[in-house]
Amino acid sequence: MFSILLVDDEPDIRSAWQLILELEGFHVLCAENGKRALERLEHHLPTLVITDWTMPRMNGGELCREIRGQRRLAGLPIIIHSSIEQPAAGEISWSVFLRKPCQVDVFVDTARRLCVDQLQSCRSRLHTV
Quote the CA–CA distance of 84 and 99 in Å, as a whole number.
Answer: 7
pTM (two decimals): 0.92
What the chain holds in terms of domains, given with CATH numbers, is 3-127 (3.40.50.2300)
- Mean pLDDT over residues 96-104, rounded? 94
Give the tens place of pLDDT for each residue, 49-95: 999 999 999 999 999 999 999 999 999 999 999 988 777 767 678 99
Judge whether residue 126 has pLDDT over 90.
no
